A and B are shown apart, each in its own frame.
Chain A
């Protein structure tokens, strides 16, 4: 009896301690997901005040919309190019910050500046800097090349500008995390490699890269998920234009839900996004386990 009471007490304490966290997680994560899936099967529009079951219509109509197909295409390109560039440049910066030089601490702090500026502010600032008539960067390009470049009007350049701004903003964070990984690699490994005659590139390829692989994959996975939800930079810089050339799925969901009040379609597009995240995450987790095992 005493043992049972003691066990019950333990369970009760466990429930009291864990319960709030579970409830919080359920209400902020699971409930919205299920609610979104549920709404995606309905014509649910605040403006029309309707809530009508329409099966898979939201899903099929989205796929019949060429603009949405273009948006999905650009989203994949935006994420892939951004993540790869951020990781590669992040690794370069991390290696530079890992070398010994005077003022290293200050440089490491300064490196983080682009990342601490609020995203929306970066977006607006660069919108002005890339302005076709008054932009600072536009002016530099004109002085150097004699050409009047319209960064935010040409769709190709607008996409490129958006990706580069995103890379500029996030690379410092990647660099700092990768730097932490680099600092955990024993110095002896490099010394032994040097004695064996390995040059810097061979040392990087055979020591630095394998030792950082799990950090890179973890960072890559998180970065992909962050980029999928990245809309404030678009809101600040291009507002999805010109046309819909810089619109990503998350931004379209924001437009459908918060500006056009079409929650049914917004939910269906969110479910597509959820599926994309699930597939990418599964691949990344597989790679993570593989690299973790190898390293």
Chain B
């Protein structure tokens, strides 16, 4: 009897010691945890090392991967923040999640970090983006570290070989598309899967048609009809794209299955990483083909934010100040395009001609085709409505009339 009791007590003591040790270790971990997308982990680590962040500030940093897909990431953060905790002290946030978190009052105001002089480094276009996508009720909840627009990539070699010009309008896309499409290659493709991909392309085309997708107006109708026609009537766009994300489309492009595509700037790095495939003569970047109204392409951004449940807010502010300072921003942009934006300090320091991304950003900017991203105060749900109905139409489940009717009803319910 005593033996059993003794064993029980020993087990209890061991468990208690283990529990206390685990807690001590947890509390001892005084490092600032920075959550970034998987693709940005190494660039961020390298940047911190090369800029001697820890030496200069005395702050140890752990850079870790946060879920890349907005729905997954939002779910993770919601349960964590509502429980009074956070897995990250600093987060690299995309537009979708930033809007959700700021409206929920979960992000720290970053305005006190910056003085007025700091903003002189920002172009008017960037300041407009900051006001729309990064401020809520006057407070700065996120500070962008990049300024990403979407580019129109095409296979220079194939177009030259077939004696074709880069399409300049939607009509020309159809004509050139018919010439380019073969059994092995489609003329165009894009990531049209639900979950933050389809909504981008639909918004991009709706803007070119002169509208905002969240209005569910004639411009959205025109954009959807255009995609539908490319897929089913002219067969120049693969229907399999309806289940693809951007990575899969990039993969198709570098495997010679697609001749042209709209894509985010990370493709610049991606294509250059395909050493056996890539050459300067192979891929070109053109201005977007003009839609019924314009040839605009909108910008999106990623930026730093601090959850208000972090217990290292001061250190987190120091980190953000360091990463966005006028002194460090150009160095970071030179290290990796993930930190590239048209801030004056960056454009002055960086060799625009040498950087493919910077030169194309300048080309797009000079042509005046860069526009603001269509905004909705309830961006995540509004985007899901657009995606869900667009997907239903593009997979032939409902008609265009139903898309518009249901969309307007759902948006009205959302706004009520």
Contact = CB atoms under 8 A, between A and B. Distances in A.
The interface size bin for chain A is: 20 to 34
B395 A242 contact: yes
A295 interface: no
Interface string A45-87: 0111100000000000100111100000000000000000000
Given A150-B240, A259-B74, A47 B395 contact: no
B378 A155 contact: no
Contacts, number: 92
A72 B82 CA distance: 29
Contact of B242 (A49, A242, A259): A242
B388 A132 contact: no
Given A47-B378, A131-B243, A150-B239, A258 B194 contact: no
B104 interface: yes
Given A48-B103, A242-B392, A244-B392, A259 B71 contact: yes
Contact of A242 (B78, B397, B410): B397
B410 A255 contact: no
Contact of B410 (A46, A65, A133, A259): A65
> Interface residue tally of chain B, by bracket?
35 or more
A49 B100 CA distance: 11
Contacts of B416: 61
B75 interface: yes
B262 interface: no
A68 B279 CA distance: 50
Contacts of A133: 240, 252
A243 B391 contact: yes
A261 interface: yes
B365 interface: no
B45 interface: no
A72 to B, nearest CB: 16
Interface of B: 71, 74-75, 78-79, 100, 103-105, 193-195, 239-240, 242-243, 252, 377-378, 380-381, 384, 388-389, 391-395, 397-398, 406, 409-410, 413, 416
27 contacts: A47-B103, A47-B104, A47-B377, A47-B378, A48-B378, A66-B406, A67-B410, A132-B243, A133-B240, A150-B239, A152-B243, A153-B239, A154-B395, A155-B392, A155-B395, A240-B194, A241-B391, A242-B194, A242-B242, A242-B391, A242-B395, A243-B392, A243-B397, A244-B388, A245-B392, A261-B104, A262-B381
Given A153-B242, A244-B388, 4 more contacts: A155-B392, A155-B395, A242-B243, A260-B381
